[in-house]
Amino acid sequence: MERDSYLDGIRNAWLGEQFGEVFFNGLAARTDDAALRERWRTLARLEKVTGAKMAAVLHRYGEQTVAETIEIGEDVLNQYAHAPHPEAMARMKDVVEQAIVRFDQLLAVAPDEDVPAVQFLVRHEQALLTFVDRELAGDGAHALTDVLPLLAPP
């Protein structure tokens, strides 16, 4: 993967994290379940932290990261918010698994100075996959177990 392709991948990851933050906050706003709302908000925080790490990589290469207003259509949010929870989690699982493949490819070609940030990107997606798997198993109480350490101060 050449430098431009690598940076495109990092830029897409950064944009995806912005999207994810808005998406999870949108789901939080659409549920009456207080525990689930807090889980969605926690995932939104994870997306924000991960996005900041991707922005730092882009800045190292002289790239600008201007926060854009991300709008997610009601139809997209409602596909998740109004679907039975297992169905929404199964849909999310497919998205997360595809992201892991893309981010593993970025990690494989990341320059040494970028490896910690790109490893975090991969770990955050793996934590999301664990979240989804636990939600699918009906274990919402432990769904954030792999997410929370990623949000702890270094």
CATH number of the structural domain spanning residue 44? 1.20.1260.10
- Tell me whether residue 26 is in a domain: yes
Q: Are 40 and 140 in contact (CB under 8 A)?
A: no
pLDDT: which is higher, 69 or 97: 97
CA distances from 34 to 14, 92, 147 (A): 29, 20, 18
- Tell me whether residue 152 is in a domain: no
How far apart are the C-alpha atoms of 15 and 140, rounded to whole Å?
A: 28
Region label for 138, one of left (φ > 0), alpha (ψ between -120 and 50) or beta (otherwise) = left
Q: What is the pLDDT of residues 93-128, one digit of tens each?
A: 999 999 999 999 999 999 999 999 999 999 999 999
Record the pTM: 0.93
pLDDT value at residue 51: 96
Q: Are 20 and 121 in contact (CB under 8 A)?
A: no
Q: What is the pLDDT of residues 20-55, one digit of tens each?
A: 999 999 999 999 999 999 999 999 999 999 999 999
Count up the domains in the chain and report the number: 1
- For residues 42, 27, 24 and 102, what is the CA-based torsion angle, rounded to 10 degrees? 130
Domain region containing 36: 3-146
- Tell me whether residue 151 is in a domain: no
- Tell me whether residue 154 is in a domain: no
- Tell me whether residue 82 is in a domain: yes
Joined together, the tokens standing for residue 89 give 């989690």
